[in-house]
Structure 1
Amino acid sequence: MTKTLLFLSILSSSLAFSQEDLLKDIDTIKTNTDTSQPAFKGLQVVTAQSTKLTAKNEWYIVVAHRFGDISTGFKNFFGLDDASTKLGVIYGVTDGLSLSFSRETNMKTFELGAKYSLLKQNDDFPVDIVGYNVLALNTDLDKDNYPHLQFSDRLSYLTQALISRRFNENLSLQLTPSYVHKNLYEPKVEDKNQFLTGLGGRYKISKRISINAEYFVNFDNHSVYKNPLSVGMDIETGGHVFQLVFSNSQLNSDIGYLTNAAGKWEKGQIFFGFNLYRVF
């Protein structure tokens, strides 16, 4: 475990300072301490959604990638031989409503999402509140394993309230109560209805780089999976935010990430990856 943490620390530091040097000459970001600004620069805190929304008529291309378990060492080349990728698009219908569509290789899951602003942080109100809903379709299920499988069995649902506060230019925190419903589930493994609460945050360490973290507690007593814990780094460039991610969950889909985390941080079972958003 000590070797794993040392490896992560060296890798993160090297990437951060390399990016900082490369971006010095194209720095166009102005310092702003106005707490009415978005609490997060990225659309995700780490893997879970943040309160940031797309602007009206903006298109985002999303590429999220998670390598395999790095604790396997050279046998699996520190996870490089086993990866999961999510590709998606996000469209800003209005400044307060965005729609998303994505597909992840792991479990061959499609997700439709809607993200919408409910209340904004300002001088009279202390937090941003954003709603987020997802409909997921698992196309990996087949009738060989589930002879009575119906289309509705492939569906699962997520409802979240994203509640964030930008305390100052450097620090933002977010509370994320969540509800997941799965039409098809294994009673000995998990519950049909699952309630979770997440706490995440962002701390800016330079003009273009921040350290992010999030942790979700799943109140499902039957679940054999772990509570998802992730740390990451936001790197701002001219046209996008690039996020480095270390997590005990390999899944990129919203529902899969929250309910199917399999790794143990204390045993070095960590999945490295990245999120890349490109706006048009």
Structure 2
Amino acid sequence: MKIKKIATFTFALLTFGYVQAQEDLLGQLDQKPDKKEIETTAFKGLQVVSMQSTKMAAKGEFYFVISHRFGDLTNGLDNFFGLDNAYTKLGGIYGVTNWFSVGLSRQTYNKVYELTGKYKLADQQIDGFPVTIVGYNTMDVNTKLSTDEYPNLKGNNRLAYTTQLPISHKFSNSFSLEVNPVFVHKNLYDPLTENKDQFLIASGGRYKLSKRLSLNLEYAARINAPEHDVYHNPLSVGLDIETGGHVFQLLFSNSQAINDVAFFTNATGKWNGGGIYFGFNMYRVF
């Protein structure tokens, strides 16, 4: 009788231990692995000022883009402070996925059509990966070129490209920085004043002034500027204004062109010697 009680007690103990072990195992299986929280976007606009930021269009979002660059302010009344010779860009950007978007625009500068692709490679994480990395590519088609000016003009002579790698870090809700290695290739170029392939290191920053205002600054240094250089490193300052469904950017720059190829490599102005251009970017989200 005593042995029977001992056996019954031992069986009950083993059964309880088995059930507990099963529950602990199931509990571990139900636990989700720790996931790093993604940091919010470092920039509110798709551009820092003129160069691309690491912000992406979300899946299904369509951005209608209007950009404008007036002429040289320093000419005063001769060109009515830039109103007489302005450049305009109209286009759209569509978020195919949360990590990939495409864009198309038409610009009055050289009647350029610009096709763009933007793709996210990594996200900045809170207490994790320190930066957001984005890839950005553009292809320009210069439709102003004609066989009257270039008798041997071929279709690929109209094309120019950029490859960029914006990398940003959000230090706080008020302050973000970005560095952007840039490669520019032109199929048609002036060998006296330009290089077929040009490399730049661009950088930009954003400082939040209030809930809806931020001050932005960007600069690009040309690594292999041509020997007979007539252009300058682009430097721009801008003010982001958030107004409900769109971000409005006011800016001043020494580069009037809006397309990336010309903006980075054909800046004609000098902040300390004339050639300052006022303009704006406006994005309307649908």
Superposition TM-score, scaled by structure 2 size: 0.85
1:56-135 to structure 2, matched below 5 A, reads: 56-122=59-125, 123-135=127-139
Query: 1:146 maps to which residue?
Result: 150
| SS of residue paired to 1:75 | helix
The percentage of aligned residue pairs carrying the same residue is: 57
Counterpart AA for 1:260:
N
Counterpart AA for 2:88:
T
Query: 1:183 maps to which residue?
Result: 187
User: Is the contact made by 1:161 and 1:178 (CA closer than 8 Å) also made in structure 2?
Assistant: yes
User: Is the contact made by 2:38 and 2:123 (CA closer than 8 Å) also made in structure 1?
Assistant: no
- Could you list the per-position Cα deviations for residues 83-136 of structure 1 after superposition, in whole angstroms to 9, with x for gaps in the alignment? 000001000000000000011101111111000000000021000000001111
Query: 1:212 maps to which residue?
Result: 216
Counterpart AA for 1:136:
D
| SS of residue paired to 1:266 | coil
| SS of residue paired to 1:89 | strand
Query: 1:172 maps to which residue?
Result: 176
Note if 1:254 corresponds to 2:257.
no
Note if 1:36 corresponds to 2:42.
no
User: Is the contact made by 1:35 and 1:166 (CA closer than 8 Å) also made in structure 2?
Assistant: no
Q: Distance in 1 between matches of 2:108 and 2:140?
A: 13
Structure 1 residue 220: Cα displacement: 2.6
| SS of residue paired to 2:236 | strand
| SS of residue paired to 1:255 | helix
User: Is the contact made by 1:142 and 1:149 (CA closer than 8 Å) also made in structure 2?
Assistant: yes
Q: Distance in 2 between matches of 1:177 and 1:153?
A: 25
Query: 2:13 maps to which residue?
Result: none
Note if 1:54 corresponds to 2:42.
no
Structure 2 counterpart of 1:155, from 128, 142, 159: 159
Counterpart AA for 1:277:
Y
Counterpart AA for 1:259:
T
Structure 1 residue 221: Cα displacement: 2.7
User: Is the contact made by 1:158 and 1:255 (CA closer than 8 Å) also made in structure 2?
Assistant: yes
User: Is the contact made by 2:199 and 2:223 (CA closer than 8 Å) also made in structure 1?
Assistant: yes
Note if 1:193 corresponds to 2:204.
no
Superposition TM-score, scaled by structure 1 size: 0.87
Query: 2:275 maps to which residue?
Result: 269
Q: Distance in 2 between matches of 1:127 and 1:239?
A: 27
Over alpha carbons, which structure has the higher Rg?
Answer: 2
Structure 1 residue 224: Cα displacement: 2.1
User: Is the contact made by 1:61 and 1:279 (CA closer than 8 Å) also made in structure 2?
Assistant: yes
Q: Distance in 2 between matches of 1:193 and 1:75?
A: 36
| SS of residue paired to 1:57 | coil
Q: Distance in 2 between matches of 1:264 and 1:89?
A: 31
Higher RCO (CA 8 Å, separation ≥ 6 residues): 1
| SS of residue paired to 1:159 | strand
Structure 1 residue 186: Cα displacement: 1.0
The alignment's C-alpha RMSD in Å is 1.0
User: Is the contact made by 2:198 and 2:225 (CA closer than 8 Å) also made in structure 1?
Assistant: no
Counterpart AA for 1:211:
L
Return 5+ residue gaps in structure 1 as ranges: 1-33
- Could you list the per-position Cα deviations for residues 175-195 of structure 1 after superposition, in whole angstroms to 9, with x for gaps in the alignment? 000101111111101110000
Q: Distance in 2 between matches of 1:55 and 1:248?
A: 32
| SS of residue paired to 2:216 | strand
Number of equivalenced pairs: 247
Return 5+ residue gaps in structure 2 as ranges: 1-36
User: Is the contact made by 1:182 and 1:192 (CA closer than 8 Å) also made in structure 2?
Assistant: yes
